[in-house]
Amino acid sequence: MANNERIDAMKIMSAKIRIETIHQMTEIGFGHIGGSMSIADVLGVLYGGVMRLEPENPGWKDRDYLVCSKGHAGPAVYAALALRGYFPMDWLKTLNLPRTNLPSHCDRLRTPGIDMTTGSLGQGLSAAAGIALGNRIDNRDNYTYAIMGDGECEEGQIWEAAMTAGHYRLSHLIAFVDYNGMQIDGPVEMVNNITNFAERFSAFRWHAQEVDGHNVAAIDEAITKAKAVEDKPSVIVLKTVKGQGCAYVVSMSYNHHIPMPKDKLEESLRILEAEVKSYAGR
């Protein structure tokens, strides 16, 4: 696939993830929309061309792994998985309903394609480091990806995991920080100001980059650079906007977990659907 076609495919994937995330939450009437929308682009890159996967065989041992440490963004991951064919698209209508396979937070025992149960913030990077180390011990060359929220990086366990991954030089571990500046209790800088993520991870012997988290070409390029580093884990800090792709959500001062009335999302859906058509028609 030519590079321009590859990037357009990732843009289409990102827009479709946003569309299906909105549909899931308007179906139930509420949800963790802000942090789900802000990671749609990195998910579009990972599931739209980067990750080595076999949707028909979710347990394939040589697959690339994804740990979405910010487990409340599960709806965006579910959208990506459904779009890749891990399960029927109709499942998306059952988000967080009784007997669903798609709970509000990621659960590997209930959803095909989910590699790690998450939701207790701060724990996902430890799991990802363990997976990466285990795969290296088994002489596998696959990659483990982890997505963390900026607010959860206030947790000490994140930095214990960072220290361990740096010590063991886990070069096949690539982490992302969704740096949207907001957490459940307000702006990150007001709750417990944690800045200079790249410098902090570098101090723990990581290769660090910072990119526009809504530029799929920049994300794709950063992953390529990370894979070229052979002696340390990598982190890519994504500068994002919480709720990106949905003007109604972005305009709110609090958009972590909110009601999702269908009439407020119609314009955003039209814009996203037009994006898909424009990229597909090029």
Mean pLDDT across 183-205: 90
The rounded percent of the chain whose pLDDT value lies above 90 is 91
Closest CA to 105 of 183, 53, 31: 31
* 24-60 pLDDT per residue, tens: 999 999 999 999 999 999 999 999 999 999 999 999 9
Question: Could you tell me the fold of the domain covering 3-280?
Answer: Rossmann fold (3.40.50)
Angle of helix 3-28 versus helix 216-227 axis, rounded to 10: 110
Whether this model's pTM surpasses 0.75: yes
Amino acid at site 68: C
Q: Is the pLDDT of residue 183 over 80?
A: yes
Q: What pLDDT score was predicted for residue 2?
A: 57
Q: Is the pLDDT of residue 185 over 90?
A: no
Asked if residue 36 lies in contact with residue 96, where contact means CB atoms within 8 angstroms, the answer is no
Asked if residue 88 lies in contact with residue 102, where contact means CB atoms within 8 angstroms, the answer is no
Q: Is the pLDDT of residue 1 over 60?
A: no
Residue 193 — pLDDT band, cuts 50, 70, 90?
A: confident
* 61-119 pLDDT per residue, tens: 999 999 999 999 999 999 999 999 999 999 999 999 999 999 999 999 999 999 999 99
Task: State how far the Cα of 234 lies from the Cα of 271, in Å rounded to an integer.
Answer: 34
Q: Is the pLDDT of residue 221 over 80?
A: yes
Domain ranges of the chain: 3-280
